[in-house]
């Protein structure tokens, strides 16, 4: 059976870095993205330099019908593949104070992060349980632990995944399937390009924003056999900002 890692929201940023980290470990990659074909193809080319395969899965993870159809079709068309590693990375920000937060701003953020975690993970844990091996890593956020003003929706989505991570870890730990989360702080990606690093880094003991590769390195450890006794954990990657 060919071993794959599936990463959502993976054409850029933390997702892209996770793809490269796991490809270096020898996993073929199932790369999910929503719309940026150019970035996805660029990441695919970088992945294949490690001598592994990369399949692109273009779908909106906020849409459960797309998940069930497109991921379901891929699984059906690849019967000789096993997805051993799942990285639930997809997420969006639509910041606003709650008094002005619209239904769309609430629902789209929760659908992209929290609901996609549920629908995708539920599809993929059955074969992991049957094979008695699997690694599920959820990319959450400092916002989901600490809470951030103007991010009630984003904090709720990431906080929900944190709670679900701990619960699911207890459900399937006996089957050698681990479930963990990484909680990045300020990382240099598209999601933080509107934030003034010079102003905010003063609050961070490390005095800088993090790099996507630093998050991916922790994801890579959690995905490896070396992390077999680590489950139900949330690992902060924030330069000491909040521990």
Residue with tokens 């008695």: 132
Among 6-20, 139-153, 191-205, 211-225, the least confident range: 191-205
Of 93, 216, 199, 66, nearest in space to 150 by CA: 93
In a domain, 242, yes or no: no
Mean pLDDT of 99-128: 96
Q: Rounded CA gap, 217 and 211, in Å?
A: 10
**Other beta carbons within 10 Å of 211:** 14
What is the pLDDT, as a whole number, of residue 3? 96
Domain that holds residue 14: 2-237
SS (H, E, C) 1-33: CEEEEEECCCCCHHHHHHHHHHHHCCCEEEEEE
Q: Rounded CA gap, 71 and 55, in Å?
A: 12
* The model's pTM: 0.94
**Which entry of 27, 33, 119, 154 is annotated as an active-site residue?**
154
What is the pLDDT, as a whole number, of residue 195? 65
In a domain, 243, yes or no: no
The band of 61, judged by pLDDT with boundaries at 50, 70 and 90, is very high
Tell me whether residue 119 is one of the annotated catalytic residues: no
In a domain, 221, yes or no: yes
In a domain, 43, yes or no: yes
Write the CA distances from 184 to 2, 53, 192, 213, 241, integer angstroms. Answer: 31, 28, 12, 11, 10
The domain total for the chain is: 1
Which of 81-90, 92-101, 145-154: highest mean pLDDT?
81-90
In a domain, 80, yes or no: yes
* Strands 28-33 and 177-184, sheet pairing: unpaired
User: pLDDT (tens digit, 9 = 90+) per residue, 121-136?
Assistant: 999 999 999 999 999 9
What is the pLDDT, as a whole number, of residue 186? 85
Mean pLDDT of 201-227: 92
Domain containing residue 25: CATH number: 3.40.50.720
In a domain, 131, yes or no: yes
What is the pLDDT, as a whole number, of residue 197? 64
In a domain, 62, yes or no: yes
In a domain, 99, yes or no: yes
Q: Rounded CA gap, 59 and 66, in Å?
A: 6
Task: Name the region of 26 (left: φ>0; alpha: ψ -120 to 50; beta: rest).
Answer: left
Q: Rounded CA gap, 118 and 167, in Å?
A: 12
């Amino acid at each position: 059976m060919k071993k794959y890692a599936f990463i959502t929201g993976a054409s850029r940023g933390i997702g892209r870095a996770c793809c490269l980290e796991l490809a270096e470990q020898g996993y073929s990659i199932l790369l999910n993205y929503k719309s940026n074909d150019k970035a996805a193809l660029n990441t695919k080319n970088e992945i294949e330099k490690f001598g592994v395969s990369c399949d692109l899965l273009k779908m909106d993870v906020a849409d459960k019908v797309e998940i069930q159809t497109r991921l379901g079709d891929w699984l059906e068309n690849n019967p000789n593949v096993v997805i051993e590693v799942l990285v639930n990375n997809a997420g969006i920000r639509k910041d606003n104070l709650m008094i002005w937060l619209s239904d769309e701003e609430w629902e789209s953020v929760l659908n992209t992060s929290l609901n996609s975690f549920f629908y995708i993970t539920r599809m993929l844990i059955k074969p992991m349980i049957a094979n008695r091996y699997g690694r599920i890593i959820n990319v959450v956020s400092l916002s989901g632990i600490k809470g951030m003003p103007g991010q009630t929706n984003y904090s709720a989505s990431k906080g929900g995944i944190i709670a679900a991570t701990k619960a699911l870890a207890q459900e399937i730990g006996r089957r050698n399937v681990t479930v963990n989360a990484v909680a990045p702080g300020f990382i240099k990606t598209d999601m933080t390009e509107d934030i003034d690093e010079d102003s905010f880094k003063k609050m961070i003991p490390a005095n800088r924003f993090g790099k996507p590769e630093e998050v991916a390195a922790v994801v890579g450890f959690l995905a490896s056999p070396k992390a077999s006794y680590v489950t139900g954990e949330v690992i902060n990657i924030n330069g000491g900002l909040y521990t």
